[in-house]
Structure 1
Amino acid sequence: MHGPTVPLLASLTAGADSADALTVAGRPCSREELLGAARAVAARVAGAPCVAVQAEATLETVAAVVGGLLAGVPVVPLPPDAGPAERDHILRDSGAALVLGPGGDVPVDIRERADWTGPEADPAATALILYTSGTTGSPKGVEIPRAAVAAGLDGLAEAWQWSADDTLVHGLPLFHVHGLVLGVLGALRTGSRLVHTGRPTPEAYAAAGGSLYFGVPTVWSRVVRDPAAARALGTARLLVSGSAALPAPVFRDLEKLTGQRPVERYGMTETLITLSTRADGERRPGSVGLPLPGVRTRLAETENGIGELELCGPTLFTGYLGRPEATAAAHTADGWFRTGDIATVEPDGMHRIVGRASTDLIKSGGYRIGAGEVENALLDHPAVSEAAVVGVPHDDLGQEIVAYVVAEGVSERTLIDFVAGHLSVHKRPRRVRFLEALPRNAMGKPQKKLLPPM
């Protein structure tokens, strides 16, 4: 089994340092300063069963997370905009003994120092408990072991040629895999400089002068609508998109404005990042690339080259906290994780995600159709800025394809015919509804279950 050879936090004290090794929302600090503040946190929380962190975009959040990891205590990031019911559920379900940060039990001060020392925790121990979005019930706590975090970050460092020479720029939330694990722990592990912009605006990205940028599709859509900001990213080494499918038109606009094709990758809370295109490899619109080291993939119940993606490898979670039945249901009899995502694998091994099994695999007239393919076709129309496609029960077809779009100056019939001209005729929407905006979550993913009925 592929696994990390370097403990999760060993690199914190390695390599060169600078006064602005980390900058969060305009506030810089060195790695030495961060480590001093984190040790002060570790001294306070050592021995706790787990701790929650008010995960605002601040240096204090970074120090709190690193402090928990130094102490070998599982860390539970709390979304700062969580309502009382969600917050109470996470705290109760996780059993967090302390809340770190503003309004919590333990204040965090980036200027504080402590000489706390302790052994590196067991690689199998839980590093983070990340809560799912709760689209199928109450959010579940996903237990991420320390070894999985280290393996995932080392795999990405290899795939993206990510090193201490880089400056990573992003403005993503610090309670998700993308913003926290990749965007903070990844920078600390590789030794790269980190600039967290506070908010991921085109202007902030353009001013940061990074070599490596992370963004979700919503961020990149805004960047390409600001050509001056997009062109400023032309000196970067790598632009990385994830957390949702990057629309093909945005991919092409980024290439046109920055001179480079973005890297797309795939992962989940339960798996961290498992697939990615490579810094030195081909980058195709819609492709999330090849498995990272040690990761294996397969498609279940394949029909017409489409099937549910299943995974195994060193980056996977231990289980859902306190929910053995849910953990068992998420795995096959031979131990592979069921992602719930529908994928295709091209002859050269490149993977494409075409949607969720629950909402994006449409069975219409005997055909299996991925909603993502139809959405990309709609987005190729110049009048369409957003698109979401679903299958709706139909007496004759089983399901009919229905599109929700944000568009101006175009008719339903024009869009139906446009898709029929780009894809197979059976993949065209039968109905189109126009909206002011698509419902989305904090990471920019369309929330199809919140779409209004036709």
Structure 2
Amino acid sequence: MGLDRGQRLLTALEGGYGDAADALRINGYAMSRERLLGAATALAERVAGAPALAVLARPTAETVVAVVGGLLAGVPVVPLPPDSGPKERGHILGDSGASLLAVGGGDAPVEGVETFRVELDAHSGGSFAEPAPERTAFVLYTSGTTGAPKGALIQRGAVAADLDALAAAWQWTAEDTLVHGLPLFHVHGLVLGVLGALRTGSRLVHTGRPTPEAYAGARGSLYFGVPTVWSRVAADHESAQALASARLLVSGSAPLPVPVFERLAALTGRAPVERYGMTESLITVSTRADGERRPGSVGLPLDGVRTRLVGEDSTAVPHDGETVGELQVAGPTLFAGYLNRPDANAESWTADGWFRTGDVAVIGPDGFHRIVGRASVDLIKSGGYRIGAGEVESALRDHPAVADAAVVGAPDPDLGQAVVAYVVADGAVTGDQLTAFVAERLSVHKRPRRVVLVAELPRNAMGKVLKKQLLDLA
């Protein structure tokens, strides 16, 4: 049978956690863990030995069965975004070497790969030996600023280590009911939001779409969301107040604006937990269930994770809460490298084995981390100063008329880069007024040189602002 239950990745499928008929409810479809295991084992028997299994990752029970089936069989799972275009889809399928694609009942076959439909009513009582921890669990594709998406190789041991560290940090147990409505082709929605429940034994409610009404109606104890979700919840007072019975509200995938943090805390009585991670590292830093939750901060490294800040000259940056540096991480949650990309691997690791996140951050004397943003777009070098875009964005959001803001460094012949702010604002506030507002709160050199008022900011499915689009505009 292989490894014992304590060494298995999906511990809760082994029994001993209770198994209600609706232990998992995915977009309205209820399943027990036993039924999930039977259907997933039947699928595992079909895909065993394949080089990789692609899964058209819609928020459905079919997706969960296919992912679990691939993991049971020890076949690397390649989540395919359902909105990916033909070029991106072809690249992911070809680069990953996926020979099979699992789809739901209403999905059409995809050219270039053997497509099959997931059967929710299938059942097998067979079993598979647990694959070794160093085996690849997922090939997760992540886009950079240039080139085709890269496939990050996520090992089974990294997933287990990360989920166990998060369970400790968030006091996540089988007594919880986890609620979220996040996409199932990212770390947040799939690894944390599905496998987390199947490892801790908590119930899972995936709402399909992450609407305030759906979150309020789910009556969970643990909620996951991205800033866009929490912003909408905070704007719906009735739905927000319905979350007062929840134990933990977790925000990630992008910085949570301080005004949203404060509104959520006021309406629910629960200050949100913020955490930081990447596809390549999984989640590495978080505030704690039993610790301080500081607006704008993602807290402390998880158990087993080490972090450091370095400057452009590769020397250590002081942990003074002010000095910006590139965040580097080490520990058991890191990926095993990019598939077929030795060039990217060489660029991503330091000589002494630390992963270069490409994010810039500050760390306080107490160890609390604050993420400034991506080095490529959020570290602005203007007139000899190094300016974190996140700090300027936070200052702008403090203005009562500002609903949202994004700051970029636009090329400037005099300054090198000029601070340009794109702002979603209510009322009759002007760009000059916002510039003055920032200059009163931050160093004068950090003020926006130009403010562009817009109706909305471009964002991806996880709520992250697409700053490259803003740079193109700037």
TM bracket (short chain):
over 0.9
Q: Counterpart of 1:81?
A: 83
TM-score after normalising by structure 1: 0.97
1:112 alignment partner in structure 2: 122
* Equivalent residue, structure 2, for 1:417: 436
Aligned match of 1:310: 328
How far, CA to CA, are the matches of 1:421 and 1:82 in structure 2? 44
2:450 to 411, 431, 438: 431
Q: Distance in 2 between matches of 1:425 and 1:177?
A: 39
Amino acid in the other structure paired with 2:131: A
Contact 1:25/1:57 (CA < 8 Å) preserved in 2?
Answer: yes
**Cα separation, 1, equivalents of 2:288 and 2:7:** 23
Unaligned runs of 5+ residues in structure 1 are none
> Which of residues 442, 461, 471 in structure 2 aligns to 1:442?
461
Tell me if 1:344 matches 2:345: no
Question: What residue is the counterpart of 2:33 in the other structure?
Answer: 31
Matched to 1:73, the amino acid is V
- Equivalent of residue 187 in structure 2, options 177, 186, 192: 177
CA contact (8 A) 1:169 1:210 kept: yes
Deviations 1:325-364 (A, max 9, x none): 2112100111100000001110010101011100000122
Q: Which residue pairs with 1:356 in the alignment?
A: 374
**AA at the equivalent of 2:399:** H
CA distance in 2, matches of 1:362, 1:200: 34
- What are the residue-to-residue correspondences of 1:132-151 with 2, within 5 Å? 132-151=142-161
Residue identity in the other structure for 2:18: A
| 1:453 paired residue number | 473
Q: Distance in 1 between matches of 2:182 and 2:473?
A: 31
- Provide the C-alpha distance between the structure 1 equivalents of 2:196 and 2:53, rounded to a whole number of angstroms: 21
AA at the equivalent of 2:82: P
Aligned to 2:404: 386
Question: Which one of the candidate residues 374, 378, 383 is aligned to 1:365?
Answer: 383
Give the deviation of 1:320 after TM superposition: 0.3
1:233-267 Cα offsets, whole Å, 9 max, x none, are 01100000000000011000111111111000000
Residue number in structure 1 paired with 2:136: 126
In the TM superposition, what is the alpha-carbon distance from 1:134 to its structure 2 partner?
Answer: 4.1
Does residue 335 (structure 1) correspond to residue 337 (structure 2)? The answer is no
Counterpart position of 1:399: 417
Query: What displacement does 1:399 show?
Result: 1.8
Superposition deviation, residue 7 in structure 1: 2.5
- Structure 2 distance, partners of 1:298, 1:5, is 32
2:384 partner amino acid:
G
SS in 2 for 1:147: helix
3-state SS of the aligned residue for 1:354?
strand
2:274 to 255, 264, 268: 264
Check the 8 A contact 2:406/2:465 in 1, yes or no. Answer: yes
Is the Cα–Cα contact under 8 Å of residues 42 and 116 in structure 1 kept in the other structure? no
Q: CA deviation at 1:31?
A: 0.4
Task: Tell me by how many angstroms 1:135 deviates.
Answer: 2.9
Structure 2 residue 64 is the aligned partner of structure 1 residue 62: yes
Deviations 1:271-313 (A, max 9, x none): 0000000000000011111111111000111386210000110
Structure-2 separation of matches of 1:87 and 1:365: 43
1:178 aligned partner, one-letter code: H
Matched positions, count: 451
Cα RMSD, aligned residues only:
1.3
**How much does 1:396 deviate?**
2.9
Using the TM superposition, give the Cα deviation of residue 133 of structure 1 relative to its aligned residue in structure 2, in angstroms. Answer: 2.4
Distance in 2 (alpha carbons) for counterparts of 1:433 and 1:76: 40
Give the superposition deviation at 1:324.
Answer: 1.5
- Partner SS, residue 440 of structure 1: coil
* Partner Cα separation in structure 2 for residue 210 and residue 182 of structure 1: 16
**Preserved contact between residue 181 and residue 209 of structure 2 (Cα < 8 Å):** yes
Question: Amino acid of the residue matched to residue 10 of structure 1?
Answer: T
Mapping 1:126-275, distance limit 5 Å? 126-275=136-285
4+ runs deviating over 4 angstroms: none
Bigger shift: residues 15-24 or 397-406: 397-406
* CA deviation profile, 1:16-71 (whole Å, cap 9, x unmatched): 11011000111111000111110011010001011100101111100100000000
Percent of pairs with identical residues? 68
- Partner residue, 1:375: 393
* CA distance, structure 2, for counterparts of residue 388 and residue 138 of structure 1: 25
Aligned equivalents of 2:387 and 2:458: distance in 1? 23
SS in 1 for 2:228: helix
Residue 8 (structure 1) aligned with residue 9 (structure 2): yes
1:199-230 per-residue CA deviation (whole Å, 9 max, x = no partner) reads: 00000000000000000000000001101100
* In 2, Cα distance between equivalents of 1:330 and 1:13: 37
Q: CA deviation at 1:6?
A: 2.7
Contact persistence 1:21–1:193 (CA under 8 A): yes
SS in 2 for 1:288: coil
SS of the residue 1:39 aligns to: helix
What secondary structure sits across from 1:151 in the alignment?
helix
Q: Summarize deviations over 1:137-172 as a string: whole Å, max 9, x none.
A: 100000000000000000000000000000000000
1:426 Cα deviation after fit: 1.7
1:5 deviation in Å? 6.3
Quote the residue 1:294 is aligned against: 304
Letter in 2 for 1:77: P
Structure 1 counterpart of 2:473, one-letter code: P
